[in-house]
A and B are shown apart, each in its own frame.
Chain A
């Protein structure tokens, strides 16, 4: 791994973010008019014109785009027409709630999914393996939305143990996290299991046993690190699915986070807010994947040198 390799990766990441932001900019501006949402359908034509004037919405789209880029470079991410305040402020207010939901879900997913997958692989074809896989298939086949409603009916309406929606206490966190974790952990369990099974049948495992290592030592030293490489790839996608799952889960449980802000801002064409959220998601995806690329290079020294042609 060398500096050139890292530079190339960084440049590609930057281009990816730029591409995403540009696409969102063009699509949103061409498919809806914020003035209509802010002022209402019956609003005076002059008032609508004045609004467009005020926000530069009647200039050619490429001019608006260049202006947007120029402002963004200077750290000005625009104004939320709807909330009448800086768009960044609106986003930052919701960010902690979403980070909390994603963080807890992320940790739980890895803590449940990976050990379950490893355990199932090590007990290949036993009843526990079959049971784990059955639960896992059920878990990821069940849409978030259906599972969420089921949990509400069970824990709130029938047993009255947990609040049905909202945020504020740890009890509010339980059902949204559970809803998201079930599907994600199921995917991880399945993926970990097949990665492990593949590794367990490699010749180096036999070699390790032959040179006198005990089974659990061989697994720890040779199977786990090798199975980790494909798993790390999955973690990269995981960030994306967390965001997507968050949109549905946040709406269902009235969790006031970024997912809901994104939906309402797209509907209202509150462009600056959408831009920031999309940029945040894109950056976090790109950053995670960059990190993963670098980790490959570290876990598997062949990767970094091959790509730079050393």
Chain B
């Protein structure tokens, strides 16, 4: 007793001091400015499906399940502290207690139901359906069991249930704030969620400013505010980083690395994200009908050379159109075709190809190094005797347009979920762009793809193996080149770990200021 009373005053004093120091510390937190090439315009992900939206808004809105990019994409508790499957199509989630929305309201099961409900997403009349349905089109119902429990049911069995609620498209919003906005248009300018930062100010074409939300459940945000400042020119982003006006600069290309590496105040961060750069073959093109010619195109590419030449060794050539993050569904022993120009020539001969022209449409560096890549590819194809005509286009619509002249074009294949269903089958399957636009049809591909939806893991693995082989060898709709890296310049005064997605996590999980 005595010892306690003796210890009590210092304890109280330190608690008081701690509180005081805490608030003093909060005020002393630095402001962070991130120079970006582009900011999102519509801030709810269900209104703008873009990397730039994910980059900013995942700091404001959160998902039920958190993907730990530092831990091979392991699923960790997010707004839900636990979850379990009730059957093949129903997921029960227990929500974290004490989570607050930015407007001060508690976040509970009603908010989850509302986020996925008819006012925002569910049904063709809902404003978020057009984009959201690519992710949760099979959602049937969200049942509020009690204030902190929801049961989310899909129309049919779905092996991706948990992954869907770790994906950024499933970011949760706060019901009262949504209602208060009055209209979808108003809401898009000021979404309210539960993340470490809340939206403070939006200036279109200039900046988006977030400020720390100190009621955040996951630890005090390390920056007092975060400003995503639009600086479209790379050289200006680099200059601002060197002067210290910006602490992070995004979207750098490898040819600029030396400018920052030679400076003790700046460093390069980042690496491959969950995406693979590919080229697409349009099989409705008269020369590309024959799979042998498409195979020849694939064999003629020295992928490693492109990755090394353009990415300074920071991009890798994947083993087929798959990612290691797929876990059990990653086919370790998949045999990729590799670079084999002789085989390419032989296939062309067998197909009776006589040097007819095939167009290759591309854009002015929509993808990093797109122009150089296109020129290198055209040259590699020329060396095996394929007559490729480069056609620089102004925008995507022009790439899609006039399908009769469309031969080869560029794309990137995001793994929206770390699963073949989230990448190869989502894109090349019957619901993907390519089959819908008739650049690819394959019954065998679709049959195996449907088997990916089975709940039997062995069957899924076999299906994954087969569709990889169809994609790469038997009936290719295109071919992969390399993983897509995303590079940042960072001031050495801060420690920040980029994730393997376009999302910039600026919470205390990933960001720390030195000194």
Contact A47 B41 (CB under 8 A): no
Is the CB–CB distance between B243 and A252 below 8 Å? no
In the bound complex, residues from chain B placing their C-beta under 8 Å from that of A264 are: 205
> Is B239's CB under 8 angstroms from A164's CB?
yes
Instruction: List the B side residues contacting A84 at CB < 8 Å.
Output: 41-42, 47, 185, 188-189
Ranked 9 nearest A-B pairs via Cβ: A47-B130, A256-B206, A254-B231, A164-B239, A164-B240, A32-B397, A40-B49, A165-B236, A84-B185
A94:B233 contact, CB within 8 angstroms: no
Residues of A within 8 A of B400 (CB): 36
Among candidates B129, B206, B397, B432, residue contacting A167 with C-beta atoms closer than 8 Å: B206
Q: B residues 426-447 with Cβ under 8 Å of A?
A: 427, 432-433, 436
- Residues on B with beta carbons closer than 8 Å to the beta carbon of A39: 49, 130-131
Q: Contact flags (1/0) for A23-60 with B, using CB distance below 8 Å?
A: 00000000111001111111111111011000000000
Interface pair A83/B204, CB less than 8 Å apart: yes
B residues near A46, Cβ cutoff 8 Å: 124, 130
Q: Which residues of A contact B206 (CB under 8 A)?
A: 167, 254, 256
In angstroms, Cα B433 to Cα A36, docked, is 12
Question: B84: CB under 8 A from chain A?
Answer: no
Chain A residues, CB < 8 A from B205: 94, 256, 260-261, 264
Whether A147 is near chain B, meaning CB under 8 Å from some CB there, is no
Ordered by A's residue number, 27 sampled pairs between the chains whose C-beta atoms are within 8 Å are A31-B394, A32-B395, A32-B397, A39-B130, A41-B396, A42-B49, A43-B49, A43-B130, A46-B124, A47-B129, A84-B42, A93-B204, A152-B236, A157-B242, A164-B240, A165-B236, A165-B239, A165-B240, A165-B245, A252-B233, A253-B236, A254-B206, A254-B230, A254-B232, A254-B233, A256-B205, A256-B206
Asked if A45 contacts B189 (CB within 8 A), the reply is: no
**How long is the Cα–Cα vector from A168 to B194 in the complex, in angstroms?**
31
Minimal beta-carbon separation of A307 from chain B (angstroms): 42
Closest to A161 in B: B243
List the B side residues contacting A194 at CB < 8 Å: none
B118-153 contact mask (Cβ, 8 Å, vs A): 1 or 0: 000000100001110110000000000000000000
Interface contact B131-A260, CB-CB below 8 Å? no
Assuming A36-B400, A165-B239, A254-B236, is B204 touching A90 (CB within 8 A)?
Answer: yes
Known pairs A36-B397, A37-B395; list 15 more (Cβ under 8 Å).
A31-B397, A32-B397, A42-B427, A45-B436, A47-B129, A84-B188, A93-B204, A149-B235, A152-B236, A157-B242, A160-B243, A166-B231, A251-B233, A254-B206, A256-B206
Residue of A nearest to B432 (CB): A42
State A47–B185 Cα separation when bound (angstroms): 17
The CA of A267 and the CA of B133, in the complex, are separated in Å by: 26
Most A-side CB within 10 Å, residue of B229, B233, B235, B400: B233
- Does A163 make an interface contact (CB < 8 A)? yes
Is A43's CB under 8 angstroms from B232's CB?
A: no
User: How many A-B contacts are there with CB distance less than 8 Å?
Assistant: 115
> Within the assembled complex, what's the spacing in Å between the Cα atoms of A45 and B188?
23
B29 CB to nearest A CB, Å: 22
Residue numbers in A under 8 Å from B397 (CB-CB)? 31-33, 36, 269
B237 closest partner in A (C-beta): A165
A85 in contact (CB, < 8 A): yes
- Decide yes or no whether B383 CB sits under 8 A from chain A: no
A156 beta carbon closer than 8 Å to chain B:
yes
Cβ of A82 within 8 Å of any chain B Cβ, yes or no, is yes
| B14 contacts A by Cβ under 8 Å | no
With contacts A44-B133, A160-B243 known, is A165 near B231, CB below 8 A? Answer: yes
CA distance A164 to B189 in the complex (A): 28
Please judge, given known A-B contacts A39-B130, A40-B131, whether A254 and B398 are in contact too, CB under 8 Å.
no
Whole-angstrom distance from the CB of B167 to the nearest CB of chain A?
A: 14
Residue A153 at the chain B interface, CB threshold 8 Å: yes
Q: Mark A224-259, 1 if CB is under 8 A from B, else 0.
A: 000000000000000000000000000111101000
Contact B41 A82 (CB under 8 A): yes
A157-B243 in contact given A32-B395, A47-B129 (Cβ < 8 Å): yes
Q: In the assembly, what is the distance between CA of A14 and CA of B47, in Å?
A: 39
| B455: A residues at CB distance < 8 A | none
Known A84-B185, A84-B189, A252-B233; judge A157-B239 contact (CB<8 A). yes
Residue of B nearest to A153 (CB): B239
Q: Are A50's CB and B130's CB within 8 A? A: yes
Task: Decide if B229 touches A36 in the complex (CB within 8 Å).
Answer: no
Q: How far is the CA of A46 from the CA of B193 in the complex (A)?
A: 29
Decide: A32 and B230 in contact? CB cutoff 8 A. no
> Shortest beta-carbon distance, B266 to chain A, in Å?
11
> Once the chains bind, are A47 and B131 in contact (CB under 8 Å)?
yes
Whole-angstrom distance between the Cβ of B221 and the nearest chain A Cβ:
24
Cβ 8 A contact of A164, one of B129, B243, B427: B243
From residue B228, how far is it (CB to closest CB) to chain A in Å?
Answer: 12
A40 to B50, Cβ gap below 8 A?
Answer: yes
Q: Interface digits, B186-207 against A, CB 8 Å rule (1 contact, 0 not)?
A: 0011000000000000011110
Residues of A within 8 A of B188 (CB): 84
CB distance from A190 to the nearest CB of B (A): 29
Interface hits, A70-107 → B, CB 8 Å: 82-85, 90, 93-94
Max chain B C-beta neighbours (<10 A), residue from A41, A163, A166: A166
B334 to chain A, nearest CB (A): 25
